[in-house]
Structure 1
């Protein structure tokens, strides 16, 4: 959270002025999120490998987790994982696809060969799921209180109206102070 505050504190005055001049936030929220994404792209470049965390948008220099389904990469701490997974890891969206779309409750017991067989179907379903705030499909997302509706961790900090699910595996909403 302190990293997000540091980023916000470093936003140029003209971006803040543009934001404060907007009288109807809901009308312009896509613009605000686009401005924030552009700012992050310009001021937080990836390392030579080009890998950035899909939550904090910082370079992945140390251990990260990569979803075997959609291949999103994130720092374990950014996705609120208590420990680094020892086995294959799936993000919350891909877990839900496996459980509810593909009816595979024991996906965590898959062998490598089984994982490779289900990956294309996971990706086909995953490409149909979009963040309810920004509309992008890629990146690590979490559940909202509405079934089948997800949002990016970075987006939820910009939109206090979105309520996160506190079902098993969801991120603790208290981690996100409203900006």
Structure 2
């Protein structure tokens, strides 16, 4: 017995270029597309794939997470008696953590830095690099660590699932503005219509 499916033998859609009209993003995507074809390195192909993602899927990464990974790299370098040469790469924005006071002199590559994060890295003696600079420095992606932010960290994602079934999902509440309009509509319905001409 067969099943008639309209999606039969249909390949899943894959993005080959970003939808956004940002000129810099499209140029960087073209650079990493050519690099992935010529160098055949997995790093370049994954960076190219991440750059083509939507804005929601390019989740931000905090400085604390980058520093935690940098500390482990420093520990291994001390044991070997060498310096840290790794570059931390984020295919999205880098955000500051207010709880961090002292930051290591890290070399970070990202699409965008927040003002406070950029200032902290510059003060510590680190570098805020772009993807076109990374393509010139490390075209094969050697000694580069790629990071990706958690997509489910945003507030809307916490409402996904069925609340009350031990999923940890929040119940989706209506906005205050919607509640106010609902109250007004109820009040107008309850009011009695009176005519001046009626006796």
| TM-score bucket of the superposed structures, by smaller chain | under 0.3
Identify, as 1 or 2, the structure richer in strand: 2
Asked which structure has the greater CA Rg, the reply is 2
